[in-house]
Structure 1
Amino acid sequence: MSRSTSLRRNVLELQQCRVSPAGCAVQNTLMLVLMMYPCRAGLDNYTELDRVNGWLIERKQAADGALSCRAFLPLGASWFSGNIHLDVSGELVVPAGRSFEGDQQVLEAVREALDRCGSDFLYLPL
């Protein structure tokens, strides 16, 4: 018997729960858990999308499908606005008590990543 035939037979046995009652129970439990908790990554919460020269690019999707992206330097502040970040228009915001000594090329790379983030659902890091 060829290896692919053997593998196909094993997959069919798993699908039909012929392997063991315990294996079948695990498979059924896993399917139940997956169906009970739908994936909500990026829906109404920001999730990490990319890192560009130390800057964190995050995105969320609203219930209506609108994309929202943001970029900031994760410096340990408990709120997004406490970190050095780019505002909605792409301008640098440096909170009181912080300083920024980055160069313009880094900011342009971050702005480009933000533009790509908001332009399409598919984001491919460069």
Structure 2
Amino acid sequence: MYTTEDIQLHKVPTIEDVRGNLAVIQNDTLPFEFKRVYYLFDVPSTAFRGGHSHIDQHEVLIALSGSFEVTVDDGKSKKSFLLNKPNIGLHIPTGIWRELENFSSGAVCLVLASDVFKEEDYIREYDDFLATK
């Protein structure tokens, strides 16, 4: 079972070039094989995203543009991360509640997920999440 202490920022392999940098994300650069990629954009600065945990799925979140804050919760402790660099990812393993907020104007959150969308993998009520702990 994972805790907030297991959650860390990870540098994405980057090729630096005077013409612009290139971040390279492949399955061998992540702690899991990704099967789904999606992104959040045009999120109002007052909006909250996330508000769930996954039973089996791992995710890596990356701020491709702008910034946002991610709060992770293992049922006992919470930890917050500011994502604001397109070459830094936050790996959120299974069984961790996540909330995203404070989106800057133009923020884009890229998500690399270890599985396809399955509603039954989501725990969407915080009390139900705590009951799994």
Q: TM-score, normalised by structure 1?
A: 0.22
> Which structure: greater helix fraction?
1
Greater length-normalized contact order (CA 8 Å, ≥ 6 residues apart): 2
Larger radius of gyration: 1
Q: TM-score, normalised by structure 2?
A: 0.21
> Which structure: greater strand fraction?
2
